[in-house]
């Protein structure tokens, strides 16, 4: 009897410890859940806050799942070339990635609409449109035919982007036409239509590109992100305006097959944790951008507002650009554009 009590006591301890000391037939047998391993990549260098939050998320999911789902984080460019992360998810080289929709204009012209674009929804409005106004569903509709999906909660809007870090002063529209700048996505196309020379350069290469004189100016991300990347050292002027990119959204994408293979409880865990970390990143960068503004000034940078004629010309050119694209692209383009526009009007009506 005493031996039986000892055995029962040992079994109780094992159960309370999560089964760690159970015999193989009870804790690690044929019916035990098999460990799942995913690879996930951000799109930026290790110092980018978006990459930092991506890495934190991977660690949090791994720990919250008790190790049942291990997500191994990688920085942008370490598994596939920078900005090709979503292609790798489609091919199941990666099972998850965190990137900007606009880096996939080669596949979906409408991807630029859900990105840091002129005339886009500001942060809070963009996230609520994506989560509740049908945005995530429209993005999945856009990606039909690819083995990639997203879901509500997967978009982090981020604060408005810095309009430009520039070596030269921009006092009017003519000055804008004299510089060569890194400007991505639809914003880059619109700036090109306005007469500015634009190039595509990965974020991790911008510091050196400015030092070498390859470009005169660039857009990248928020004040907080850009301060951490030491851009104050390569550009004297910091230009601010909400017109070119009122938000800087990044989205988590997942391989459909990998997602469908996950048990339901792990799907819920992944979606819940992504929702939590995308919102946390947005709030953190709003706060940090306020602090970064003073840091740029203290470092000797001139923080200036974009001249009014530049803002007006950019807004007008953006309207023409999207009106033309809505007629010439596949129907999903106009569907997303109209949905965002109507949501924005409804959002503004209560302010």
Q: Are residues 93 and 231 in the same domain?
A: no
Residue 71 lies in a domain: yes
- Report yes or no on 293 lying in a domain: no
- Structurally, how many domains does the chain consist of? 2
Could you identify the residue written with the tokens 């036409």? 177
Task: Tell me the pTM.
Answer: 0.81
Return all residues near 102 (Cβ < 8 A) that are at least 6 apart: 111, 112, 115, 116, 117, 184, 185, 186
Tens digit of each residue's pLDDT (9 = 90 or more) over 160-172: 999 999 999 999 9
Clarify whether residues 97 and 207 are in a common domain: no
Given a cut of 50, whether residue 151 has pLDDT beyond it is yes
**Residue 2 is assigned to a structural domain of this protein:** no
Q: pLDDT for 208-232, tens place per residue?
A: 999 999 999 999 989 998 998 999 9
137 pLDDT above the threshold of 50: yes
Closest CA to 280 of 70, 56, 58, 88: 56
Using one digit for the tens of pLDDT, what is the confidence trace for 289-302? 999 999 999 999 99
Q: What is the CATH number of the domain that holds 56?
A: 3.40.190.170
pLDDT (average), residues 78-100: 95
For the domain that residue 191 is a member of, what is the CATH number? 3.40.190.10
Same domain, 194 and 312: yes
Tell me which residue range forms the domain holding 338. Answer: 164-246+300-349
Q: Does residue 30 sit within a domain?
A: no
């Amino acid at each position: 009897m005493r031996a039986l009590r000892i055995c029962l006591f040992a079994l109780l301890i094992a159960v309370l410890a999560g089964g760690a000391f159970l015999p193989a037939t009870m804790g690690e047998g044929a019916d035990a859940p098999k460990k799942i391993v995913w690879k996930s990549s951000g799109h930026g260098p290790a110092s980018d806050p978006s990459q930092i939050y991506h890495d934190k998320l991977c660690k949090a999911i791994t720990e919250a799942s008790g190790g049942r789902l291990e997500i191994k984080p990688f920085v942008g460019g370490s598994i596939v070339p920078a900005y090709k992360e979503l292609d790798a998810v489609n091919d199941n080289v990666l099972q998850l990635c965190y990137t900007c929709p606009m880096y996939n204009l080669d596949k979906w012209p409408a991807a630029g609409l859900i990105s840091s674009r002129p005339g886009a929804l500001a942060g809070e409005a963009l996230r609520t449109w994506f989560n509740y106004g049908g945005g995530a569903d429209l993005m999945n509709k856009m990606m039909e035919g690819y083995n990639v999906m997203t879901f509500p909660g997967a978009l982090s809007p981020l604060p408005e982007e810095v309009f430009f870090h520039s070596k030269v002063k921009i006092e009017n529209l003519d000055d804008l036409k004299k510089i060569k700048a890194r400007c991505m996505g639809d914003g880059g196309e619109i700036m090109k239509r306005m007469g500015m020379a634009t190039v595509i350069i990965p974020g991790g290469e911008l510091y050196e590109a400015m030092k070498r004189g390859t470009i005169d100016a660039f857009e990248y991300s928020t004040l907080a992100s850009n301060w951490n990347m030491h851009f104050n050292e390569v550009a004297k002027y910091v230009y601010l305006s909400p017109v070119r990119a009122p938000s800087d959204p990044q989205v988590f994408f997942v391989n459909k097959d990998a997602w469908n293979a996950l048990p339901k409880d792990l799907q819920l865990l992944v979606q819940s944790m992504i929702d939590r970390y995308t919102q946390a990143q947005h709030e953190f960068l709003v706060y940090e951008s306020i602090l970064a503004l003073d840091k740029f000034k203290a470092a000797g940078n001139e923080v200036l507002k974009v001249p009014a004629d530049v803002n007006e010309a950019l807004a007008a050119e953006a309207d023409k650009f999207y009106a033309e694209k809505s007629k010439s692209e596949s129907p999903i383009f106009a569907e997303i554009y109209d949905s965002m526009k109507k949501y924005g009007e409804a959002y503004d009506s209560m302010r």
